Structure 1
Amino acid sequence: MQFLYPNVLFLMLIPIFLLMFLIVTNKDRFQKFFSKESLIKLSISNKNMNKTTRNILLFITLILMTIALARPVMNEKEQSFKQEIASIVIAIDVSKSMLATDVYPNRLTFAKQKLLNLIELSKKNALAVTLFGKNSFILSPVTQDFNSLKILVENLNTGLNFDNGSNIFSALETTNKLLKDYKNKNLILLTDGGNNQSYEKEIEYAKQNSINIYTLAVGTKKPAPIKLENGNFLTKEDGSIITVTLNENIKNLSLGTNGGYIESSNSNDDIKQILADIDAKSSKKELESKKFKTYTELFYYPLAFAIFILFIAFSSLPNLKKRALKTLLTFFLLANFTQQSKAFEFDFKNIEKANKYYENKDYKNAIKEYEKVAKTPEATYNLANSYYKNSEYDKALKTYKEVVSSNKELEYKKLHNLGNTYVKLNDLQNAKKMYENALKIKEDKETRENLKKVEEALNKKENKQNKPENQNNKDDKNKDSQEQKENKKNSNKEQKNKEDKEDKENKEKESNKNQQANKTQEENLEKTAKEPKKISDLEEKKWLEELQKQKTPVLLKKVETKSEDNSSTPW
Structure 2
Amino acid sequence: MRGVLLLLGTMALLHAGIFDFLDVNKAHTSYENKDYKAAIQSYKKLENKAGGRYDLANSYYKSKQYKKALESYEKITDKKLEFKKLHNLGNTYAHLGKIDDAIKSYEAALKIKKDKDTQYNLDLLKKQKKEQQKKQNKNQKNKKNDKKQNSKNQQNKQNKNDQKNQQNQKNQQNKQNKNNQNKNDQRKKDQQNKSQEQHNKNQKKTQNKDAKKSTPESKKQRKKQAQGSIKKAPPISDMEERKYQKMLNNRGVNTLMLPLKSKGDLHHETNPW
Q: If the length of structure 2 is used for normalisation, what is the TM-score? A: 0.49
Q: Which protein is bigger by CA-based radius of gyration? A: 2
Q: Of Structure 1 and Structure 2, which has the larger fraction of its residues in strand?
A: 1
Identify the structure with bigger relative contact order (alpha carbons < 8 Å, sequence gap 6+).
Answer: 1
More helix by share: 2
